[in-house]
Amino acid sequence: MTLPTTASGHKGLQLEQGLIFEQDTPGMTAVDLPSLPTSKQRLGDMNRNGPIGLPGLSEPEVVRHYTRLSQKNYSIDSGFYPLGSCTMKHNPRLNEKMARLPGFAEIHPFQPVSTAQGAMELIDTCARWLTELTGMAAVAMSPAAGAHGEFCGLMCIHAAHDANGQSQRKVIIVPESAHGTNPATAALCGYTVESIPANAEGRVDIADLRAKLKEHGDTVAAVMITNPNTCGLFERECIEIADAVHAAGAYFYMDGANFNAIVGRLRIADLGVDAMHINLHKTFSTPHGGGGPGAGPTVLSAKLAPFAPVPMVVKAGEGYVSEEHAGYGTAKQALGRMKGYHGQFGVFVRALSYMMSMGVDGLKQASGDAVLNANYLMARLSAELTPAFAGPCMHECVFDDRFLKGTGVTTLDIAKALIDEGFHPPTMYFPLVVHGALLIEPTETESKQALDQFVTSLLSLARKAKEGRAAEFQAAPQLSPRRRLDETKAARRPILRWTPSATDGAKQAAE
């Protein structure tokens, strides 16, 4: 069956939609405002001269515009989203409702703290959940996302070494399998990065690590390890790693992006961790919103806690105060401020709403189901795909592309074919240590039925590839709002914004 071409360019429910700039009715607005009070202007001579160039649309046009755009997106609400390392779990709408309570949404960061005691309590309660779940001494709540939390942790480590007269420590040891933010963050602290390879079973080789620690001696500031790691495996020798790191006078940073696998089962303090960020937008169900916002509270050991950035909520008698200045009071040794205001407060509300809903028992069940789902996928998919490492895996499983050898089909092709099957592809080509990696993270909020449908599709694609039907893959996806996009073209001659001339052609084509 070939699809009919339509005069409109629409295809049934797939509706094409131009840019807002192509829908301009000059002078139109979707916002009516009350009339101006009569008062003398006090702008000096700072008036803008000339128009800005924003298009004018009415409310129905705007609602339709964004509704149509939304329909071009895949989302967790609409389907299975097994994007490894991203923990795309269900985002409860209760969280959204709670964040919109006027007592949370309509409060200003600089209203007197005496009038924001509920906000202080919320931050403190959220902090208590996080320190209790990790067993750590303190938590810096202000980091805005995982990478920002890494920055917070490494800066605390830097500050602690400086305070101990260990400023020569400038090296961070990071496994090759690490997420890109780890080395990028190390560089932001003025550190150099030394990589260690993964061993054949996908883990840090403690002998390698010991050798690296010895080689760099008293210049090692910290070792940064993701656990469970990006291969979906728990670093079994984690405690030995921590001991070796500490014996070398360095700190142990754990990337907590994968905390969802272990939450409610063990406390990372018992693993010897000095600092770890927690992506609230992964483990604690706050929505990813097409790119953010997130929050990356960073739990700290007693040795690092004094250096935590401001602001911090401090219990004072019956209520709370907000310590907002480094160098004073409880923030005497604080490294400074990392973010405006009080951190990602709206994300804290959502995360707390989730934690309270789950309870400690629900969180343990969730990590259990997340790991069960991943192992189930690994077991079933191994019928045709080649797992990169032996299980059991944690909350995600990784396959390499050996199963595609000689087929002419690549990991990318498989991913694009999955789009036609109605699934969001897994994370591709990450971790870098696995050739042609497909990193699959189902999360605990998928039913067995949803997993089985995915298995059926992916196994059938693997068989198709092995049957020599490569051409079908190279054409995929065919059923999505767009087919493969030319990324080389986008990068070679970047068009990063609308300009009247650049889109004249498109406008004519639409007419």
Partner 1 sequence: MRYLPLSEANRRDMLAQIGVASVDELFRDLPKKALAAAQFDLPRTMSEIEVERALGVMAAKNMNCATSAAFLGCGNYRHHTPASADYLIQRGEFLTAYTPYQPEISQGTLQAIFEFQTQVALITGMEIANASMYDGATACAEAVAMACRVTKRSHALVSGRVHPHYHDVAKTQMKFLDVNVECLAPDPYGVEDLIGRVSPDLACVVVQTPGFFGQLSDYTALGEACHKAGVLLVACVTEPVSLGLVKSPGAMGADIVVGEGQSLAGPMTFGGPGVGLFATREKFLRQMPGRLCGETTDEDGRRGWVLTLSTREQHIRREKATSNICTNSGLIALAFSVHMTLLGEAGFTRLAELNHATACDLADKLEGVKGVKLLPSAFFNEFTLALPKPAAGVVEALAKKGVLGGVPVSRFYPTYPELANLLVVCATETNSAEDQVKLVKALNEVLS
Ligand X SMILES: Cc1ncc(COP(=O)(O)O)c(C=O)c1O
Q: Which residues bind ligand X (CB under 6 A)?
A: 85, 145-147, 179, 181, 226, 230, 255, 257, 279, 294, 296
Q: Give the one entry of ligand X, partner 1, none that residue 302 binds, where binding means its C-beta sits below a cut-off of 5 to 8 angstroms depending on kind.
A: none
Distance CA 457, CA 83 (A): 16
Among 11, 15, 56, 472, binds partner 1 (CB under 8 A): 56
Query: Interface residues for partner 1 in 261-280 (CB under 8 A)?
Result: 262, 264-267, 270-271, 279
Q: Give the one entry of ligand X, partner 1, none that residue 409 binds, where binding means its C-beta sits below a cut-off of 5 to 8 angstroms depending on kind.
A: none
Stretch that binds partner 1, among 210-218, 300-308, 325-333, 459-467 (CB under 8 A): 325-333
The answer to whether 174 touches 195, Cβ cutoff 8 Å, is yes
**Residue 348: both structure tokens together:** 């804290």
Q: Quickly tell me which residue has 């092709």 as its tokens.
A: 413
Q: In this structure, are strands 171-175 and 192-196 parallel, antiparallel, or unpaired?
A: parallel
Q: Give the one entry of ligand X, partner 1, none that residue 255 binds, where binding means its C-beta sits below a cut-off of 5 to 8 angstroms depending on kind.
A: ligand X
In the shown chain, the binding pattern of residues 431 to 470 toward partner 1, with x for contact by CB under 8 A and - for none, equals -------------xxxxx-x--------------------
Cβ-based nearer residue to ligand X, 84 or 387: 84
Q: Give the one entry of partner 1, ligand X, none that residue 37 binds, where binding means its C-beta sits below a cut-off of 5 to 8 angstroms depending on kind.
A: partner 1
**Residues whose CB falls within 8 Å of the CB of residue 248, separated by 6 or more in sequence, listed in order:** 213, 214, 217, 218, 220
**Residue 411: both structure tokens together:** 């990991």
Query: Interface residues for partner 1 in 121-140 (CB under 8 A)?
Result: 121-122, 125, 129, 132-133
Q: Is 428 helix (H, G, I), strand (E, B) or coil?
A: strand
Give the nearest distance from C-beta 226 to ligand X in angstroms. Answer: 5
Among 372, 464, 466, 470, binds partner 1 (CB under 8 A): 372
**Residue 344: both structure tokens together:** 């990602």
Q: Is 482 helix (H, G, I), strand (E, B) or coil?
A: coil
Q: Give the one entry of ligand X, partner 1, none that residue 96 binds, where binding means its C-beta sits below a cut-off of 5 to 8 angstroms depending on kind.
A: partner 1
Stretch that binds partner 1, among 80-88, 245-253, 397-405, 461-469 (CB under 8 A): 80-88
Q: Give the one entry of ligand X, partner 1, none that residue 226 binds, where binding means its C-beta sits below a cut-off of 5 to 8 angstroms depending on kind.
A: ligand X
Among 73, 164, 199, 456, binds partner 1 (CB under 8 A): 73
Q: Is 424 helix (H, G, I), strand (E, B) or coil?
A: coil
Among 6, 10, 29, 214, binds partner 1 (CB under 8 A): 29
**Residues whose CB falls within 8 Å of the CB of residue 293, separated by 6 or more in sequence, listed in order:** 144, 145, 281, 344, 346, 347
Q: Give the one entry of ligand X, partner 1, none that residue 392 binds, where binding means its C-beta sits below a cut-off of 5 to 8 angstroms depending on kind.
A: partner 1
Distance CA 288, CA 194 (A): 31
Q: Give the one entry of partner 1, ligand X, none that residue 104 binds, where binding means its C-beta sits below a cut-off of 5 to 8 angstroms depending on kind.
A: partner 1
230-267 burial, b at 16+ Cβ within 10 Å, e below that, comes to bbbbbbeebeebbebbeebbbbbbbbbbbbbbbbbeeb
164 counts as binding partner 1 under rule CB under 8 A: no
Query: Interface residues for partner 1 in 279-308 (CB under 8 A)?
Result: 279, 281, 285, 287-295
Query: Interface residues for partner 1 in 182-211 (CB under 8 A)?
Result: 183-193
Q: Quickly tell me which residue has 């409109």 as its tokens.
A: 8
Q: HEC states along 332-371?
A: CCCCCECCCCCCCHHHHHHHHHHHHHHHHHHHHHHHHHHH
Cβ-based nearer residue to partner 1, 132 or 467: 132
State how far the alpha carbon of 451 is from the alpha carbons of 279, 403, 462, in Å.
Answer: 25, 21, 16
